[in-house]
Amino acid sequence: MKIVEVDKSIRELVVANDGYCPCTIVKNEDTKCMCKEFKEQTSGLCHCGRFEKVEELTIHVMHGYDTVQAPTGEDCFGCYISGKHEIYVADNIPADQFFYTIAHEYMHYLQDIEGREFNEKEADDFAQSVFTLKE
């Protein structure tokens, strides 16, 4: 989990409000920016929109490999490791297949962090739409 500042303009509002969240009336330790409510939440935006907690994704490019082994034991161009937020992709494959595979596995990452079942058709459709934008 990583915290990113998504709206830097709110920083000025926090300074003008003596370091407290600009969208609260009460000024105490719980409303000092980063507020207690945001520190305790597991993901998403803080209520004023300045910060967001996001999941990090790691992509491992397997240099010299033409396939990688999925957790199921299947050999494939790439795979997403559920719960670890990691994509493994072989790099000794055609460039168009390389980028298609990353897009496909990225959709599995989105399905995972959103708590949805893996859907191969949705992942293929997403990869195809990304690839179509490239052309």
* Contact between residue 98 and residue 109 where contact means Cβ atoms under 8 Å apart: no
Residue 132: its pLDDT value, please?
75
* pLDDT at position 135: 53
pLDDT score, position 1: 76
Query: What is the reported pLDDT for 133?
Result: 60
pLDDT tens digits in sequence order for the chain, 135 residues long: 789 999 999 999 999 999 999 988 999 999 999 999 999 998 889 989 999 998 889 999 999 999 999 999 999 999 999 888 999 999 999 988 999 999 999 999 999 988 899 999 999 999 999 877 655
Please give the pLDDT value at position 51: 94
